[in-house]
Amino acid sequence: MSKFVVTGGRELEGKVDVSGAKNAILPIIAASLLTSDKIILEEAPDLLDVQVMGQVIESLGGKVKRKNKKLHIENRDIENIEAPYDLISKMRASIFIMGPLLARKGRIRISHPGGCAIGSRPINWHIKGLELLGAQVRMDNGFLDVSASRLKAARIYLDFPSVGATENIMMAAVNAEGTTIVENAAQEPEIVDLANFINEMGGKIRGAGTNIINIEGVKELHGTTHTIIPDRIEAGTYILMAAACGGEVLVRNVIPVHLTSLLAKLDEAGVVYKEEDDGIRVIGKGNYHAVDIKTQVHPGFSTDLQAPIMAMLTRAHGTSMVTETVFENRFMHVEELKRMGADIRIEGRSAIVQGVENLHPATVSASDLRAGAGLVLAALTANGTSEIREIHHIERGYEYLEVKLRGIGANITKEE
């Protein structure tokens, strides 16, 4: 297994480019199943999750090839309706093939998906939406068997604004007869990117990015070339690293409006940054105040930035409270941060973080993708050499993390 070796205590200087968004490209790759024409996705990040999703498509009969930052996808010969268990169990985003494959083939068999162990992420909202569109769902030896002779439009109210359920329903309803209305829909920027992609293929989706989405069914979709939006979580992570380490870093390929909740907290903490034409420039002083964070669905503070900002707050002046409302198991990084000298105690779904002057180096393990990013941030600020293990979690969502960090002055290597 690989690990990162980080010698911290250096200021960061220079420019770092943000890759295409992991949480945008995964459902978009799945949505390519809606057409037999060629699809080209530009700014496609080279991530483990993207590779696995490509393998899922290929297992169904599609073809996926990477050429530099582009993915070329052709799904003319889709014949299989069941993806292999070993692929589905690796990644929760594999659930995204349910909607488009059901629309394309009228049936899909899929096991319960895997992914990071950050808490309960039920798929009942996905199933409810597909059933309202006319699908029949049954359990068969640990598999979901979903079928529909013809999908028909429906009015669907989501009890929780689930991102995955919203996206799966959108993809299933694209070819349904009539106009589907999704109420209490998730509003994340990645949903807007998916809707834009489908509309570029000839779909008719309105309202993405609001809590009410209208999907007018069309008979068929065609190929297109689409550019993936920048990854707002990766951007936020580099911004937080620059703020914590000090120095001056320009984070490029950023859409600032996607980071409104994070930037508001940086203002409150006294972190100096400037929005520029080509990105966000952070003038880190390593000197900032404690703030309280409460994760919420978008446009609230993202749960995916909770671990990185908690790592930053371990050295803030004062006491911060970080409350996690989205996933119940997303404090697994706390014990690892405490191994580095952080002063944190957990009370229910909140973590009380008392800022300390310095963290010290340690050997720690990443329990999930974002926890791993938080541990890298902490190691960058610690005086000495730390090891971060289980970095396959990190590589699911951060493209060439160690290379990018070395480009702005960090002392980080990847070792076996």
Residues classed as catalytic:
116
Confirm if 97 and 30 have CB atoms less than 8 A apart.
yes
Q: Which two tokens stand for residue 150?
A: 């013809």
Confirm whether residue 232 is marked as ligand binding.
no
Is it true that the peptide bond before 84 is cis, omega within 30 degrees of 0?
no
Confirm whether residue 92 is marked as ligand binding.
yes
Pairing of strands 179-183, 155-157: parallel
Confirm if 251 and 243 have CB atoms less than 8 A apart.
no
Tell me the C-alpha distance between 387 and 369, whole Å.
Answer: 16
Confirm if 287 and 276 have CB atoms less than 8 A apart.
no
Q: Which two tokens stand for residue 356?
A: 């300390």
Tell me the C-alpha distance between 254 and 278, whole Å.
Answer: 8
Q: How far is CA 244 from CA 4, 374, 397, in A?
A: 19, 11, 21
H/E stretch holding 181: strand 179-183
Q: Which two tokens stand for residue 72?
A: 């070329």
Question: What is the per-residue burial (b if ≥16 Cβ within 10 Å, else e) of 19-52?
Answer: bbbbbbbbbbbbbbbbbbbbbbbebbbebbbbeb
- Length of the chain measured in residues: 416
Name the 3-class secondary structure at 338: helix
- In a 13 Å sphere around the CA of 40, the CA atoms on its Cβ side amount to 7
Confirm whether residue 23 is marked as ligand binding.
yes
Confirm whether residue 326 is marked as ligand binding.
yes
Confirm whether residue 206 is marked as ligand binding.
no
Tell me the C-alpha distance between 390 and 237, whole Å.
Answer: 19
Q: How far is CA 351 from CA 348, 358, 371, in A?
A: 8, 19, 14
The residue to which tokens 């629309």 are assigned: 103
Could you tell me which residues are annotated as the binding site?
A: 22-23, 92, 304, 326
Report the binding-site residues for UDP-N-acetyl-alpha-D-glucosamine.
Answer: 92, 304, 326
Query: Residues at the annotated binding site for phosphoenolpyruvate?
Result: 22-23
